[in-house]
Structure 1
Amino acid sequence: MNDLEKVYTERYNKHLFGICKELEDYIRLCLRDVSRIDRITTRPKSIKSFIEKSKSTDNAGDKKYLDPINQIQDQIGARIITFYTRDVERIYELLLESLKPIEQKNRIPDSEWEFGYFGNHSIFLLPTEVYESDFEPGVVPQFFELQIKTMFQHAWSEANHDLGYKNIEASMSPNDKRLLAFTSAQAWGADFTFNDLSAKHLSDYPETKH
C-alpha cells in the first residue's frame, strides 16, 4: 500500500461515511418541501475507484492529478433521483440557495443522432454544517459531486455503466451497440412523454424561489 492509498484509506474508514450521512440529511432538509423526489443518497468514493482515478492521464499522457487527495472532487458523491425532467433544474436552483457551486454541466450526447448519458452533474463546496468544526485540515474533502437525474436517466445510466462503459463497450459487436442505443432512445422517449404529460395535467408544482 503506497502513501496515497494509506491517506485515503484512513479518510475513507474514519471520516467519509459519517460526512456522507450528515450531507444526506443536509440535502434532505434543503429539499424538505419539494415533491416528487424518489430518493436522495450519498456515498464515499471507494478506495479502489479513488486510486484508479488518481492514475488518470490526459490525451498527452500527462497525469491529471498531481495532488489527488486535494484535487479529486468526487470523494463524496450525492445523487437525487426525481420523477420528471422538469424537476431537475428546479431542484438545482433550490439548492443554490444553500450550496456554493464550483462547476456545473448538463450531460447530453454529442449528437442528436446519438442516445447516451443525460443528467445534471455539479461540483459543490462541502458545507461546513456537515462536519465537526474541529476536524483537522486535510481530513475533510473540500468538495462533493452532486448528480440530479430522473428515474429513467438513473436506470439507464446504471445499466449502461455495467454493460457499455469503458472497456466493455469496446468488446461489443455493432449490433450490441445498436441495442444499447435503442434502450437509451426508449428511456429518452419515456422521460419526454412523462414530462410532457406532467406539464399538461399536474398543476401542483410550486414556483422556484430566488
Structure 2
Amino acid sequence: MDLIDEFIAQYTKEYDFYAEASRLAAEMLESDLRAAGVRSLVTFRAKSITRLEEKCRKRHRGKKYQTPAQIYDDIVDLAGVRVALYYPDESDQLDKAIGRLFRPLEPKKEFAPGASTQPNRFPGYTATHYRVQLAESDLSESQQRYSLARIEIQVASVLMHAWSEVEHDLIYKPLQGELSEQEHRILDQLNGLVHAGEVALQLLQKAAELRVSSGERVITNHYDLAAFLLNRIGMHSEEPVTDAELGRVDLLFELLLALDLNTPTALDPYLEILQIELERRPIAEQLVDGLLGDNLGRYTLYRRIREDHQPPGGRPVTESQAYDESGRFLAEWSEFEADVRDHVGPMQLRGAPIMWILQQSDLLTEDEQDEITWLRRVRNHIVHGEMPSVSLLERASSQLAAITSDLRQRRSQSA
C-alpha cells in the first residue's frame, strides 16, 4: 500500500465525520440566512473518495508528500459548504453571518476578477472562500468532535457557481483530453454572460426594493421585508446600511403580520427611531422593541411567535418555572415603561427606545439608571435571546418593582 492508498483508506473511515460536519455547518448557515431574509441556496458535501484520490495522486507528483498528515494539511476542502446567493450585493450580510457563526482558521480568500491563468477577455471566477471550524458552544455534547473539522465555505452568486461547475469539470477533470482553444473561448464567452447576469441580478434586487417600498403595498413575506429595510434604513440613519445586521427578520415579519402593520407606511414611524438607538443591535431587534413598547399583550404575542419558531431540538421553556418568572418580569417592565412614557408625555417619539427617553429626562437617580441598564439587558435576553435563571429573574423583578414604586412616589410628591 503506497502513501496515497494509506491516506484514502484513512479518509474512507472518516468520510461520515466530514459529511456530518459539513451538514451541521450548512444547516446553521442556511437557518441564519433564511431568518435574515437573505435568498440563497446552501449545499454541502464531504469530498468524493474517487475524486479525492485522483486529486491526491495529481498533486503528489509535484508536492512529493511524505506522510498522510501532509496530505491532510494540503487538502483543505474535505468538508465543504457552498452558498449560492440570488443577489450578489448581499455578500456583506453573508460575511457577517460567517464571522458570527464560525471560528475562522485563516483570512478569507477573495478570487478577484483577472485571477484566471487563461488569456481571457472576461474576468473569470469571482468568489470568496472561507476556512472555518464549528464553534464548540453551538454543538451538543455528542457533537463536540465535529468542532475539529476544517470546513471550506465557498460563496458566489447562483450564476457564478453554475459556471464554475462547468468550467472546473471540463478543464480540471476532462474525460476526453485537454480542451481546445475554441472550447476555452466559449467558456470565456459564457463567463461574460455570467458577469452580465450578475449585473442583472443587482438591478433585479433594486427593482424588488422599490416595489416593496410603495407606501400602502402589503409586505407579504420576510424576504420582501428584508429588501424593504435595506432600502429604507439609509433614509433614516447616518450609518451605512451594511454596517448593521438585519437580525431575525422572520420573527419581525410575523409580529408585523399579527399586528396588521406589514406596510411601509405603518413601519416608517418606527424606522425613524433607529437613528437615536444607543446600542448597536440587529435592526430587527430594535424594531421589535419599538413595536412592543409598554404593551404587555404584544410581549405575550411575541413570545408565542418565538416559541413557534423554536428550532427542532430546542429547549422547551413553556412549562418551566423560569418561563413563569419571566412573565412576571415582563409585566413589571411593561408597567415601568408605561409609567415613564406617561410621565414624559409629548416629548417621546412613537416607539422611541426607553433608554433614550430616560437619558433625555431626569426621572431616575444615577444608581437607578445603572440598575435599569442591567435590567434592560435582562429584558433583552428574555425577548430576543436565552431564558435567564429563575433566581436572576426573581431578583430582577424585585429590583424593577422597587424602582417603579420609587418613581411613582417621587411623582406623586411633586404633583
> What TM-score, normalized to structure 1?
0.80
Decide whether the 8 Å contact of 1:23 with 1:130 is kept in 2: no
Deviations 1:58-84 (A, max 9, x none): 9x9333685223553211000111111
Please show how residues 1-210 of structure 1 align to structure 2 within 5 Å: 2-13=5-16, 15-55=17-57, 57=59, 61-63=62-64, 66=67, 67=69, 68-101=71-104, 102-108=106-112, 109-110=114-115, 113-128=121-136, 129-130=138-139, 132=142, 135=145, 141-165=148-172, 171-199=178-206, 201-202=208-209, 203-206=227-230, 207=241, 208-209=244-245
State the distance in 1 between where 2:181 and 2:199 align: 27
State the distance in 1 between where 2:21 and 2:79 align: 8
Q: Which amino acid aligns with 2:194?
A: A
Alpha-carbon offset, residue 40 of structure 1: 1.1
Greater alpha carbon shift after TM alignment, 108-117 vs 147-156:
108-117
Decide whether the 8 Å contact of 1:82 with 1:88 is kept in 2: yes
Q: What is the root-mean-square deviation of aligned Cα atoms in Å?
A: 3.1
Decide whether the 8 Å contact of 1:42 with 1:78 is kept in 2: yes
State the distance in 2 between where 1:125 and 1:19 align: 9
Relative distance call for 1:63 and 1:93 in structure 2 (3 A) is: farther
Residue 398 of structure 2 aligns with which residue?
Answer: none
- Bigger Cα Rg: 2
Alpha-carbon offset, residue 57 of structure 1: 4.1
Q: Secondary structure of 1:175's partner?
A: helix
Deviations 1:103-158 (A, max 9, x none): 312213337843311211111123334573564xxx87531000111111111111
Alpha-carbon offset, residue 195 of structure 1: 0.9
Decide whether the 8 Å contact of 2:170 with 2:179 is kept in 1: no
Relative distance call for 1:201 and 1:20 in structure 2 (3 A) is: closer
Decide whether the 8 Å contact of 2:21 with 2:149 is kept in 1: no
Decide whether the 8 Å contact of 2:76 with 2:150 is kept in 1: yes
Structure with higher RCO (Cα < 8 A, 6+ apart) = 1
Q: Secondary structure of 2:76's partner?
A: coil
Q: Which amino acid aligns with 2:197?
A: A
Greater alpha carbon shift after TM alignment, 88-97 vs 164-173:
164-173
Q: 5+ unaligned residues in a row in structure 1: which ranges? A: none
Relative distance call for 1:134 and 1:78 in structure 2 (3 A) is: closer
Higher strand share: 1
Decide whether the 8 Å contact of 1:56 with 1:63 is kept in 2: no
Decide whether the 8 Å contact of 2:122 with 2:191 is kept in 1: no
Q: Which amino acid aligns with 2:124?
A: G
How many residue pairs get aligned? The number is 205
Q: Which amino acid aligns with 2:228?
A: D
Decide whether the 8 Å contact of 2:46 with 2:78 is kept in 1: yes
Relative distance call for 1:3 and 1:65 in structure 2 (3 A) is: closer
Q: Which amino acid aligns with 1:62?
A: K
Alpha-carbon offset, residue 205 of structure 1: 4.9
Q: Which amino acid aligns with 2:63?
A: D
Alpha-carbon offset, residue 163 of structure 1: 2.6
Relative distance call for 1:169 and 1:84 in structure 2 (3 A) is: farther
Alpha-carbon offset, residue 30 of structure 1: 2.9
Alpha-carbon offset, residue 197 of structure 1: 4.2
Decide whether the 8 Å contact of 1:163 with 1:169 is kept in 2: no
Q: Secondary structure of 1:100's partner?
A: strand
State the distance in 2 between where 1:157 and 1:65 align: 32
Decide whether the 8 Å contact of 1:106 with 1:118 is kept in 2: yes
